[in-house]
Amino acid sequence: MQVRNSLFTFFLISALTICAAPIPQAPSIAAKGYVLIDASTGKVLSEFNGDELLPPASLTKIMTSYVAAVEIREGRINLADQVPISVKAWRTPGSKTFVREGTSVSLSDLLRGVIIQSGNDASVAVAEYIAGSEEAFAGMMNQHAEDIGMTRTDFRNSTGLPDREHLTTARDLVTLVRSLISEFPDHYKIYSEREFTYGGIRQNNRNRLLWRDKTVDGVKTGMTKDAGFCLVASAMREGMRLVSVVMGATDDETRMRETQKLFQWGFRYFETQTLFEPNISLQKTRIYYGEKEELELGIEEKLILTFPRGSYEDLESEIDFPSIIEAPIQIGQKIGELRVNLDGRELASVPLIARSAVLEAGFFSRASDAIELFFSDLGE
């Protein structure tokens, strides 16, 4: 007998009749483009021109450090490596770590030069050490960008120095930062360091929000004439992490102020919680023609959602699966869907899977189940 298409619905969280207060409109932001997201879920809380191609200036160096972190993880380079400084790196204009041509500098120091001091010379040195040339390194940057879902970015150098084709978007940059934080938490900690001294020259981290807001632990500033003043920032409050990208502001104070406005609004009016864990049974149901008579259903990964603050009790979750399930069933096999709704809007939908395998039973057990299903079809 074939599995029927009818669905069984089970409500896990009952909705209350009183809804949460409406969320006020996001603040107006003085920038060419911006995006605010929750880092855990990727939910976009507010955006303007999020997909517009814009020059990233030194925000580029986030990808430079990301590529280096990947190479370290894969064992191809090491933080203790001594990196030779080329004439090209030494002569690179703009912000500097003040490395000298003909010397060697540890990769650890160079990465702090890239991240904290925004040193263009350090960025070129890292690029040349990893890929042989800055041009080849830019190719690696673009490959990694594609791999993590940066769909509109084109990197042409490791520094962010002006190039007409060196462009990205605010949305792509939050995608990069989410990957950086989740894949390389130890590497990301460098972004919170407030100063770095190399060659007797101490320079402060150019992200002045690290002093202004104790919940901010990164990420990076950038500025050129074409790009304007840019700031990617991340803050963690009560276990919730937000990431913002502000591009094309008029000055340093504006990019900080507008970023703070986004954080204040986002943390005040949204919350993120884990609703369901993967290692628990969400529902037990009858299974036919199997060595077992009961099948446990669950989800493969934890379900984390971002939703309006104060509306947790209004969330309505439902499980849909066929009313008749037949063996054999493999562990992890998709059986149905778990959906979470708020005020009639679907917030999430994830596969409902079998938590264990069920083998097909012997002839007599299957015959018994067939008779049971036959009479259940007849009804009363």
Give the active site residue among 40, 46, 86, 118: 118
Rounded (5°) CA angle 182-169-176: 10
Instruction: Write the CA distances from 65 to 13, 23, 140, 220, integer angstroms.
Output: 43, 37, 12, 11
The runs of H, that is alpha helices, within 87-202 are: 87-91, 107-115, 120-131, 134-148, 170-183, 185-188
Let me know the angle formed at the C-alpha of 295 by 290 and 300, rounded to the nearest 5 degrees: 125
Hey, is 37 helix, strand or coil? strand
Judge contact between 62 and 232, C-beta under 8 A: yes
Catalytic residue among 32, 40, 46, 61: 61
Q: Is 281 a known active-site residue?
A: no
**φ/ψ (deg, to 5) at 229:** -95, 120
- Measured distance CA(380)–CA(369) in Å, rounded: 18
Judge whether 61 counts as a catalytic residue: yes
From the candidates 40, 58, 311, 317, which is the catalytic residue? 58
Sheet bearing 228-237, strands edge to edge: 44-48, 33-38, 240-249, 228-237, 216-224
Amino acid at 353: I
CA-CA-CA-CA torsion for 202, 206, 207, 213, nearest 10 degrees?
Answer: 50
CA atoms within 13 A on the CB side of 170: 27
Distance between CA atoms of 327 and 373, rounded to whole angstroms?
14
- Assess contact for 325 and 287: CB atoms under 8 A: yes
> Is 365 in the active site?
no
Catalytic machinery residues: 58, 61, 118
